[in-house]
Structure 1
C-alpha cells in the first residue's frame, strides 16, 4: 500500500505535465489533441461533476439542442454520423462519450474533482493546484506544468434570473432552465417562458407538444431563422466521398456558409433585417404582428441569431399551441404574470429563460507567486493566453459560429507551443502586453449576459495577436504562420539557474 493510501498518511503530491480543467466539449478536445500530438506527456482532466459533457450534461430542459450544425460543432477529428445535422442534447452527449472512448481518454478523466485554486510558482516553474473531491470533500494539492482551462465562461451552479416583483405570490412553479426538475409535469398546463434567446426558442415548441398552451414573454424580440434539421448535402458528400473526407467537405462548406451569413448581416444590416422579416412573415399565421414580436431594435448579429430547426417555433405558433407576448413585467400574481400594458398571462408554470451568469475559469482562484490574478487587468493573446499569467490557456469559442471551431485551433496552438518549448529546452511561456496598447472588452457582443460582466473580463487589443478574432479563416492563417508572435516570452531551467547564481554572487 502506498503512503498516500494509508490512513492518516500524507498524500503524495502528484505532478502532471498538463492539467485540463473541465470535461466538456473543450476539455475533451484538448485531451485528445494532447494525447495524439504529445503521447509522452502526462495529462489529467479534472471534472467537478459526476459525468462528462459540461453544458450538455448540465442542461436537461425539454428540447435542448445545439443551434449550430454538428459538422462544425463536432470535432474536426471525429465525423458526425447521425442523420440530423441539428442535434439534441442526448445525441451530443453520446458523441462526446464516444470521443472519450475512441481516443483512450477515460483513464485521464477524474470526475467529482473540482479545481478550487491554482498558484503559479515562478521558482519551481509549475502550478500548485488545490483540488476538492466532490464525493468525500477532501482537499489536496497537485502540481502541473501547464493548465488548459476548458470550463467555458458561465457559472454552472447559478443561472441569471432578475428579481421579479411579486414572485413570492405566484402559486405555481417557477423554474430556471439551468436547474430543470426531473419530475416537472407540465402536460395540460399553461406555461409562460420568460425570454427570447436560444433557450426560450428551444423550450417553447418542445413544451407546446404537451402543455395546454405556451407563451413566450419577451421584453425585446430576437432575430430567429428556420434551418433544416437534416443537411442532405452533407449526407450526400459522406455517401459519395466516404465518412472522413465527406465530413471534412461538409464541415468546410458549413464554415463558409456561417461566415457568409454573418458577413452579410454585418455588412448589409438593413438588407439582412428585411430578409429575416420576410422569412418570418411567411412562417407565421396571416395577420400576425411580425413587426412587434420579431423585429429587434438592434442589427442582426449584434446578438446571436437564433436558429429553429425546421421552423418548429413558427409551427407551434401556427397551430395555436404557442404565442408571443412582447411587453414588460409589472408583477407576478397568484395565477400568472401581469404586464406593464395591463394584460395578464395566466400560468401554472413559469420558466425564467433569462440567461447566464458569466464566470471565467470555472471559478478557480488564480494567482501568480501568491498575487491574485485580476482578469480585467489582463490582455488576451491569440485568443487563449493572458498577459501576466504563465503557462495558462483559456478556451473560449466563437460567438458568431460554432464554438468548437475555435477550440480546435486553440488546442492545436497549445500543442505547437509545447513542441516549440520541448525542442529548445524551455518550460515557461508568458505574455507581456505593451502598457500603451489600446484595449477594449474581450467580447464584442451585445448579449445581456456578456454586457453585465464586461468589467470583469480580460481585454483585447486592436490587432493580432491581441485581437479576440471571431473569424475561423483569420485564426487558421495565424495558426499556420509563425508560432512566436509579439509579446510572447520564454524561459527554461538555465535561465532560473543563471538568475539564482547572479543573486548568490551579488549576496557574496
Structure 2
C-alpha cells in the first residue's frame, strides 16, 4: 500500500528544517516528512567544504527568527552554520521526520484524487509516496555539478585543477602557487583563506566585481544582547539589519552613482591604493546589477595589501604545463588552479513535474507570490532573496504555506491552484545579470507584471502580503 502524508517537504537544508518547524507549530495535525537526497542535514552548508566557506549575509537574518543566532560572529563560517541547522533540527524533533537518501525525481498531480504521486529513488530502489501538498525546499543550485567551462590546454596542465563545490580533503596548499579563476563570492572567500593556509595565491578575474567589507562582529548587536532578552534582541537586530541592507539596495537602484562612490571609497580605504581599485575593483556595471560580494573585516583587501594575495584582471589564452598564459602574454605559474567559475542553477531540484499526466517544465511557468506556479495545484517552492538573506523569504514562504493549508481545511477545499490572468506581461524571474542567472535563463520560470505574480526582492512588502494578505487572491479552489 502506498504511504500517504499530508505534506512532503523536499530538502533538509536551511529551508527544509525551517519548513518543518512551521508545519509542526502552525499545522500541528498535519502529517509530514522531509525527503533528503543526501545522507546528512544541512544542504548547501553540508555540501560546500572549501577553505573559508561562510555566510555572505549576517547571521541574524540568515538564522531562523524562532531560533535567534546567539554566537559572537555576525558573519559565520560554514561549520558554525551547519552546527546551528543541525542543533535546531534536533531541538524541535525535526530530524526525526527526515528520510535520507530519498531523491525525488518526479511528481504527478491527480485532479481526480486531489493528491501528488511522488516518485523517489532510494538506496533500495524506487518507491512512490502520495501527499496532499508538495513543498520544494531544495534551493536552486545543482548539487551534483558546478559550472565548469573547459579551458584551452587544460589537459596539458601538470598540476591539480579543483572546483570549489567538490573540494578535496587531501589538498595541501601550503607553500604552493595557487591561481583562483573567478571574482564572485566563492573566489573572494577562497583567496584570503588560501593565503592564510600558506599559499601564494592569485585571483584571476575576467571582469571586476563590486565588493564591500563588513565587520565580522556586530557591536550594535552585542550591545542589544546585554540589555534585551534573547528573542527580543534577535528581533531588533534582525530588523536593524533588514532595514540597513534594504536601504543600500534601494540606494543602488535609485542612485547608482552614490552607491558606486561609497563602495569605491571603502575599497580604497581597505587596499590603501586608489590605483589598485581603479585597475581591479571598479566594475563597469552598477552595484546590485550583480550580487554584491562581502568580505568580512576586509580580509581580501588585507591579503592583497600584505602581498600574500594578488589580483590579475585579464583573460585566459591557454593553460600550459606550468600554469596559465593570458591574452596579454603574461604567464601565471601555478601548482593548483581553482576553477571558481560559478554554480549551476536547478530550479525545483530538477524534478519532473506533471499535472494530470501533462508535463509542466519550469521554464513554461509563471510564479505566484514568488513561491507557487500558475496552473500547478498544491505545490510551493522555497526560493530566497538575491539582495538579502535567503532565510528571510524562506520563512515567509513556509508561513504562507501553513496559512494556505489552514484555509483549505477551514473551507473544506482539497486543492488550491494559482490562475494567471490573461494578457499578463511576463518578465525575467531574477533582477540580476550574473553569469549563473544568464546561463539558466532557458530553465527559469518567469514573473508577471503585477502582484501577486511577482518575485519581489523586498522583505517588508513580502512580510505584509505573505503573512496578512488574502490567500484567495488569484487562486482557484476545488473540493
**TM-score of the superposed pair, with normalisation by structure 1:** 0.93
* One of 310, 313, 319 as aligned partner of 2:300: 313
* Aligned partner of 1:53 among 9, 34, 42: 42
Deviation at 1:281, TM superposition (A): 1.1
Residue 54 of structure 2: aligned partner:
65
Partner of 1:7 in structure 2?
A: none
Q: Secondary structure at the match of 2:118?
A: strand
- Higher mean alpha-carbon deviation, 375-384 vs 192-201, is at 375-384
Asked whether 1:116 is paired with 2:105, we answer: yes
Match of 1:363 in 2: 350
- Which of 336, 343, 368 aligns to 2:330? It is 343
1:192 matched to 2:206: no
> Is the contact made by 1:198 and 1:307 (CA closer than 8 Å) also made in structure 2?
yes
1:455 match: secondary structure: coil
- Partners of 1:126 and 1:74 in 2: how far apart? 33
The residue aligned with 1:32 is: 21
Answer yes or no: is the 8 Å Cα contact 1:190–1:211 preserved in 2: no
Query: Is contact 2:268–2:274 with CA below 8 Å preserved after alignment?
Result: no
Distance 1:362 1:212 in 2: 36
Aligned counterpart, 2:96: 107
Match runs of 1:262-281 below 5 Å: 262-281=249-268
The match for 2:165 among 170, 174, 178 is 178
* 1:232, distance to aligned residue in structure 2 (A): 1.4
Task: Kindly state the Cα deviation for residue 300 of structure 1 after the two structures are TM-superposed.
Answer: 0.3
Contact conserved, 1:191 with 1:211, CA < 8 A, in 2? no
Q: 1:205 aligns with which of 192, 196, 213?
A: 192
Matched with 1:500 is none
For the residue of structure 2 that corresponds to 1:400, the secondary structure is coil
Q: 1:433 matched to which residue of 2?
A: 420
Match of 1:139 among 103, 126, 131: 126
Residue 479 (structure 1) shift: 2.2
Q: Does 1:298 align with 2:298?
A: no
Q: Which runs of structure 1 show a deviation greater than 6 angstroms over 4 or more consecutive aligned residues?
A: none
Note the C-alpha offset of 1:289.
2.4
| Contiguous gaps of at least 5 residues in structure 1 | 1-11, 493-508
Q: Is 1:72–1:251's contact at 8 Å kept on the other side of the alignment?
A: yes
Residues 468-483 of structure 1 correspond to what in structure 2 (within 5 A)? 468-483=455-470
Q: Is residue 192–residue 349 contact of structure 1 (8 Å, CA) maintained in 2?
A: yes
Aligned residues of 1:66 and 1:87 also touching (Cα < 8 A): yes
Contact 1:409 1:479 in 2 (8 A): yes
- Offset of 1:265 from its aligned partner? 1.3
How far is the alpha carbon of 1:374 from its aligned partner?
Answer: 1.5
| Farther off after superposition, 432-441 or 464-473 | 432-441
Structure 1, 68-77 or 233-242: larger mean CA deviation: 233-242
Specify the alignment match of 2:77 in structure 1: 88
Cross-structure match for 2:396: 409
Structure 1 residue 30, shift from structure 2 partner: 0.6
**CA offset digits 1:7-38 (Å, max 9, x no partner):** xxxxx311010000000111111111001111
Q: SS at the partner of 2:278?
A: helix
Task: For 1:215 and 1:227, locate their aligned partners in 2 and report how far apart those are by CA, in whole Å.
Answer: 23
1:487 CA drift (Å): 2.1
Residue 65 of structure 1, CA deviation: 0.1
Structure 1 residues 140 and 212, CA gap change in structure 2 (3 angstroms): closer
Match of 1:455 among 438, 442, 446: 442
| Alignment match, 2:381 | 394
Provide the rounded CA distance (Å) in 2 between the counterparts of 1:380 and 1:212: 45
Report the Cα distance in structure 2 between the residues aligned to 1:250 and 1:77, rounded to whole angstroms: 13
CA RMSD after TM alignment: 1.0
Shift of 1:287: 6.5
CA gap of 1:97–1:172, structure 2 versus 1, over 3 A, is same
Q: What residue in structure 2 maps to residue 19 of structure 1?
A: 8
Q: Of the candidates 118, 121, 139, which is equivalent to residue 129 of structure 1? A: 118
